[in-house]
Amino acid sequence: MNIVEMLTQRESLIAILAAISAAAIVYTFGSSFIVRSEMKTRIRRVALERDKMRAEEMARLRGLASNGGEGRGSIRRAGETKSYMKKVVERFDLKKAFQDDATVDKLAMAGFRGQGHLTTFLFMRLATPLGIFLFAALYLMVLAPGGRPLYLNLVYSIGAGIVGSYLPILLLKNTTSKRQFSIRRAWPDCLDLLLLCVEAGMSMEHAFKRVAREIGQQSAELAEELTLTTAELSFLEDRTRAYDNLGRRIGLDNVRSVMTALIQADRYGTSVGQALRVMAEEGREARMMEAEKKAASLPPKLTVPLILFFLPVLFIVILAPAAIKIFGPGGAASGGMG
Quickly count: other Cβ atoms within 10 Å of residue 62's Cβ.
9
Among candidates 150, 147, 125, which has minimal Cα distance to 137? 150
Q: Which residues of the chain have pLDDT under 70?
A: 1-8, 29-81, 330-338
pLDDT confidence of residue 67: 45
Among candidates 83, 49, 52, which has minimal Cα distance to 69? 52
Among candidates 213, 186, 170, 197, which has minimal Cα distance to 46? 213
User: Cα-atom radius of gyration of the chain, to the nearest Å?
Assistant: 29
pLDDT confidence of residue 74: 33
Quickly count: other Cβ atoms within 10 Å of residue 153's Cβ.
19
pLDDT confidence of residue 300: 87
- Please, are residues 173 and 112 in contact by the beta-carbon 8 Å criterion? no
pLDDT confidence of residue 62: 57
Among candidates 99, 249, 101, 245, which has minimal Cα distance to 176? 249
